[in-house]
Chains A and B, each alone.
Chain A
Amino acid sequence: MPRLRLRYFALFREQAGRREETLATTAATPALLYEELATRYGFRLGRAQLQVAVNGAFADWSTPLVDGDEIVFIPPVAGG
């Protein structure tokens, strides 16, 4: 199974109880991966309220994920 590196920020960091982890998963896209994590950690934010970054750049929810990718789910922001 591909292994993905996940990093968590803000609300997700607190709900997942960790800053990062490496996860072996069959999830082929960020959309499927988010479903898996939402079930595991009880993330309640809907996908429409999130953005996802793959390897440090904003990405589409249907981007194919490959072994070694770094994924960050980005909750609504509040800079400034």
Chain B
Amino acid sequence: MSTFEFRDAPLDPAALSRTLADPGAGGFASFEGWVRDHHEGRRVTGLDYEAFEELARAEGERIVAAAVERHGVLAARCVHRVGRLAIGELAVWVGAASAHRAEAFAACREIIDEIKHRLPIWKKEHYVEGDSGWVNCERCAEAAHDHRHGHDHAPAGAAAFDYARQMALPEVGSAGQQRLAEAAVVVIGAGGLGCAVLTALAGAGIGTLQVVDDDTVEASNLHRQPLYTVADIGRPKAEAATERLAAYNPRIVLHAHPVRFTAANAAALISAGDLVVDCSDNFAAKFLVNDVAVLTGRPAVLASIHQYEGQLQVVRPDTGGSCLRCLWPEAMRDGLVGNCVEAGVLGPVPAVLGNLQAIEVLKILLDLPGQLRDELLLVDLLGLEQRRLRVPRAAECAGRCTRIGPPVVETSGAELELTLPLATAAAQGYRIIDIREPEECYSDPLGLAGHDAIPMGRLLDGVATLDPGERYLLVCTRGARSLIAARQLRAGGRNNVWSLRGGLLRAQLPGAQPGRS
């Protein structure tokens, strides 16, 4: 079954839904795009859909695969019509099946949004008056020719956000813009720094933004956090920020994570992006961002502010170089130096630093010259001075960034991931630990007698102690969390821990070795 296809005959949603049926699915969400009878105040009588099918199919399959991967759904699929369609006909169908409903909704939404903006599919509207026009094309052509107006690119909605001025930069162009559209960035903290970073990255067209913040908007935030209005006071920041950003640029995908950023969820949250931006206001979070970025090999752009000054550091575990712990080997305790609450801050200070962070993010994603690397940038906005200090890589870095290159776990010769049926692993003496959350274990039990169930957060917090004399195999749904957990435990000196490659899903695939007895 192809995950993305075109059809020139009417679609049957019920039949399409059945193709996603899965015993492990507890939720199914679908989206249907219908032909409506009006557009921009004109009465429409029908549509013609046309597609560059080869390219659209390849890109469409990529979009579906990316959504499946990002949201961890069991299966997803999209079917798009081509040819002449009447009012009320089904033009596009998207479906996603997953263990839980939230992921199914999110995957469905992402697929339709991406398809609408990226795939070479065009529609021609036929109007009551007898004329017709290609949507998004005719008006562009007029605007391009009429130099008195800017490019009023598209009539309304998503396509109206236009990156033309940014793409006009020779270093960006359409290829660079496409790279930004394919990127996912995780922003930890939606305060003063976060508001600036998120606005700049949303405007630049970063395809996916993950917004992590468990705070609610307070009146005292507003002077430096202009994503929020007085009406947002009391609302969760992650929610208010994503809502505002979605209205600002409907072409991007936004995910709100109104949760506290802790050691238990840091790896999972940071792994949801290609790059992480630290906009937190406390040392515990900054060191956690640094450490998890190093462990997962993702670039991190860190900034801090203090009254009228700020600091910026870029950590590049993907290419080597120094990290936050090369500068400060021991994590600093909060309260040692004041934060905004205690010391005060001038509103534009975090805005300046946040925009510098956004620029470094774009430099990395676009591979632009002049990237901040192995340096600390100090910005003094009273003296209007800035200095760049070299931060060499520490020989004995507590963040373990010195092991970058061949990771410690690989050089030990021990394989971190195992591919074998669970029952075999148990028979070979591995102690199996199901690291999924309790509700996941409940709705999709492992079906193996004599295993332990310890959620990832508790395992990493060390609440559950591992016996050095045993060998442990960690198991999760897709093998991503278990790999991160195994890496972290190995980095902490536990060499008797392995991860089940591909997780339970792989074990369930037809033709794969059975993972469960």
- Whether chain B is bound by chain A comes out as yes
- Interface residues of chain A, those whose CB is within 8 Å of chain B, are 7, 9-11, 13, 43-46, 48-53, 56-62, 72, 74-80
Contact yes or no, B140 A76, CB < 8 A: yes
Interface residues of B in 137-186 (CB under 8 A from A): 137-138, 140-142, 144-145, 151, 153-154, 159, 164, 167-168, 173-175, 178
Contact yes or no, A72 B55, CB < 8 A: yes
Partner of A9, one of B52, B91, B151: B52
CB-based nearest A residue for B113 = A80
Bound CA–CA A45/B124 (angstroms): 16
Q: Which residues of B contact A10 (CB under 8 A)?
A: 50, 122, 124, 134, 137
Asked if B223 lies at the interface with its beta carbon under 8 angstroms from chain A, I say no
Contact yes or no, B159 A76, CB < 8 A: yes
Contact yes or no, B118 A77, CB < 8 A: yes
Asked if B410 lies at the interface with its beta carbon under 8 angstroms from chain A, I say no
Contact yes or no, A11 B120, CB < 8 A: no
Contact yes or no, B141 A45, CB < 8 A: yes
Interface residues of B in 85-124 (CB under 8 A from A): 91-92, 112, 115-124
Contact yes or no, A60 B173, CB < 8 A: yes
Partner of B137, one of A45, A59, A60, A62: A45
Contact yes or no, A48 B164, CB < 8 A: yes
CB-based nearest A residue for B31 = A80
Beyond contacts A46-B151, A58-B55: 11 other A-B pairs, Cβ-Cβ < 8 A, are A10-B134, A11-B122, A13-B50, A49-B153, A53-B120, A62-B173, A74-B120, A76-B154, A77-B118, A79-B92, A79-B116
Contact with A along B397-421 (1 / 0, CB 8 A): 0000000000000000000000000
Q: Which residues of B contact A7 (CB under 8 A)?
A: 52
Contact yes or no, A57 B55, CB < 8 A: yes
Bound CA–CA A50/B58 (angstroms): 19
Contact yes or no, A9 B112, CB < 8 A: no
Q: Which residues of B contact A78 (CB under 8 A)?
A: 116, 121-123, 134-136, 159
Partner of B33, one of A44, A72, A80: A80
Q: Which residues of B contact A49 (CB under 8 A)?
A: 140, 144, 151, 153, 164
Contact yes or no, A75 B174, CB < 8 A: no
Q: Beyond A10-B50, A75-B137, A77-B117, is A58–B122 a contact (Cβ under 8 Å)?
A: no
CB-based nearest A residue for B178 = A58
Contact yes or no, A80 B116, CB < 8 A: yes
Bound CA–CA A43/B141 (angstroms): 8
Q: Which residues of B contact A61 (CB under 8 A)?
A: 173-174
Partner of B54, one of A11, A45, A56: A56
Contact yes or no, B52 A48, CB < 8 A: no
Contact yes or no, B151 A77, CB < 8 A: no
Bound CA–CA A41/B174 (angstroms): 23
Asked if B77 lies at the interface with its beta carbon under 8 angstroms from chain A, I say no
Please name the 7 residue pairs, one residue from A and one from B, whose CB atoms are nearest each other, closest first.
A79-B121, A10-B122, A44-B141, A46-B144, A80-B116, A76-B136, A78-B135
CB-based nearest A residue for B153 = A49
Contact yes or no, B168 A79, CB < 8 A: no
- Within the complex, what minimum Cβ distance (angstroms) separates B107 from chain A? 15
Taking each of A7, A11, A45, A60, which has the highest tally of chain B beta carbons within 10 Å of its own beta carbon?
A11
- Within the complex, what minimum Cβ distance (angstroms) separates B52 from chain A? 5
Q: Which residues of A contact B134 (CB under 8 A)?
A: 10-11, 75, 78
Asked if B286 lies at the interface with its beta carbon under 8 angstroms from chain A, I say no
CB-based nearest B residue for A9 = B52
Interface residues of B in 163-215 (CB under 8 A from A): 164, 167-168, 173-175, 178
Asked if B325 lies at the interface with its beta carbon under 8 angstroms from chain A, I say no
Q: Which residues of B contact A62 (CB under 8 A)?
A: 173
Contact yes or no, A53 B55, CB < 8 A: yes
Bound CA–CA A10/B159 (angstroms): 17
Taking each of A49, A74, A79, which has the highest tally of chain B beta carbons within 10 Å of its own beta carbon?
A79
Contact yes or no, B154 A79, CB < 8 A: no
Q: Which residues of B contact A60 (CB under 8 A)?
A: 173-175
- Within the complex, what minimum Cβ distance (angstroms) separates B325 from chain A? 39
Contact yes or no, B175 A77, CB < 8 A: no
Q: List 28 A-B contacts (CB under 8 A).
A: A9-B122, A10-B122, A13-B50, A44-B142, A44-B144, A45-B140, A45-B144, A46-B140, A48-B151, A48-B168, A49-B140, A56-B58, A57-B55, A58-B55, A60-B173, A61-B174, A62-B173, A75-B137, A75-B140, A77-B116, A77-B118, A77-B122, A77-B136, A78-B116, A78-B135, A79-B56, A79-B115, A79-B121
Asked if B80 lies at the interface with its beta carbon under 8 angstroms from chain A, I say yes
- Within the complex, what minimum Cβ distance (angstroms) separates B211 from chain A? 25
